[in-house]
Structure 1
Amino acid sequence: MTDRTAIRVEGEPGYDVVVGRGLDDAIAEALGPRAAKVLVVHAPTLGARAAALRDALQGRLEVLLAEVPDAEAAKRVEVAAFCWQIMGQTDFTRTDAVIGLGGGATTDLAGFVAATWLRGVRLVQVPTTVLGMVDAAVGGKTGINTAEGKNLVGAFHAPAAVVCDLDHLDALPRNEILAGSAEIVKAGFIAEPEILDVIEADPERAMDPATPEFRRIVELAIRVKARVVGEDFTEQGLREILNYGHTLGHAIEHAERYQWRHGAAVAIGMVFAAELSRLTRSLSDEAVDRHRRILDALSLPTTYPLGRWKTLLATMQRDKKARAGMLRFIVLDEVGRPTVLNGADESLLFAAYQEIAD
């Protein structure tokens, strides 16, 4: 038995997020006894890993592979239709399953495909990036992008399990690990300050997948998301706190035509949200400065051009988090105490943006 941690996401149905190394047996177990076929949706760089998984599972069920584009290019309706075509041509039934093998964009797509085929089939998420493990693959949010914005089309569809095999991270480029760390930092600011303490104590060790410090903050971030999702699966209230930094972050991703890593955009979004918190909730100067110090230590950006504001504002007004045309932001009363800011005046938003503009 390998060293592993099972983090429970409560709800109906509940499921485990398994963290450890050498977890192929956990994938097989999560598929359940009824599946006769499984579609492995994978990123282009993971062809060999997908083939190895097919070989490991082939004796007990038929395994089909669907290679999809890298990153946000995967999250298009044409790519989902490609997966549906494979499933239709091979007579996928409601008892069959989908595996999402890749980063957050791949697991978002795989989840959407599983949610929509026959109104929902079994899903096992196998994230291979930091972002996927601590955020995208956990929680049952699935989605694709449109020309108008990110994740505007999607569904809530709980996986049968999320299998976070840290072996996948050993060969991951450092910039990928750092980009994914933005979601870990977010969990620290909204709910789990120990994460911030660990990173500040030694950023190098905190970002090294071989260290216990790295595993600790990954598991803490997953626990934050698991706790929130277990209480509010369909984002009727509490789950909104997970959007800290995301309203502006998603607008930046759209402005950059999805060529930026999600974590880089969210890093800027968090500093903006912190500045907005200082203006509206009396968040301390030290807490705002702490955002910049930690993100700077992780080589994540904290500024964006002043001249892009009008474009970003227009995109945010179309964001799925808006209500009746009114912008909503997650802000902080203090570290670990998030709340919702409704309908902030545009002059106030611009004042906060000026603090992050370069």
Structure 2
Amino acid sequence: MADFLPNDPTLSKDMTLPREPATDKDAAYAIEVRDLRKVYRASGGQPAKEALKGIDIAVPRGSIFGLLGPNGAGKSTLINILAGLVVKTSGAASVWGFDIDVNPRQARASIGVVPQELNIDPFFTPAEALELQAGLYGVPKRERRTMEILTAMGLDDKADAYARTLSGGMRRRLLVAKAMVHNPPVLVLDEPTAGVDIELRKQLWDYVKLLHANGTTIVLTTHYLEEAQELCDTIAIIDKGEVVACEPTQRLIARVTDKKLIIRTVWPVTPAQVSAMEGFKTEVTASGAFSIQYNPMDAGVMDILDRVRASGIEIVDISTEESNLEDVFLQLTGTQRSKAT
């Protein structure tokens, strides 16, 4: 594999893991994208499509960064440009300080990508697939961690089974394992838990958290917004090829100030009683309870409860719900989010 390695002093002679760039100009960022554009040419009677419209994103080193957006927003195009699979139209991008145009091999060696598609050779075993991937990245045999990675992914007992015999969740985990064979400083997880059951999802996130604790920068795309809210310290939301928000997670969630008051009643509420709450967004549940959405700056809980009592509703219990990432996502994109399956 010696011929695979470029003759570049920023790469170790024994492995493809990049050392620090010659300059620390971009030392604060694992990924930096500036005015990045991608236009897919017209074909098959379809007009040209502008997938990325001059986006700017900076992913801090050592962070867990969420990259969210509706289907077709441009997330996969961005990831594929960073991975060297798609050629950008214009703009600049760097991975771990390596410009993808000036130092493409170093940039690709700095990133591991877990794709959405289950692109696995069915006639390779998981162990063989990892060994082949490690060889392609020039990782010496003495530094390969095939069984360690397979164990972490819960695939050690399937190490010698053909990939075609694995379940969908196991194949998803094998993709994660393949992305980690060269120990990249940046790991991109594109919908990594789609089709993975709850127990294995927890196992995957435990290992991702361990990688993060050891210094790996994680970039996550997911339709499970609860996961993004819990795991990510910073989140960017892309819609129609543009960045509509990029902030620390809690600051982003704070954009939506509305709260929801859940009221459980002695008797099911009637439409006439609900209509008495004019000025508030109300919703009746199947059990007969109802919710009231309000802004604390405009109305207090006691004022709302007084209006509820005045309408003849007998209250049994109340609770409140704070805004969450889903509320912000829907507000910024104006779409109903897709449910991953």
Could you state the TM-score of these two structures normalised by the residue count of structure 2? 0.32
Bigger share in helix: 1
Q: Which has the higher strand share?
A: 2
Higher-Rg structure is 2
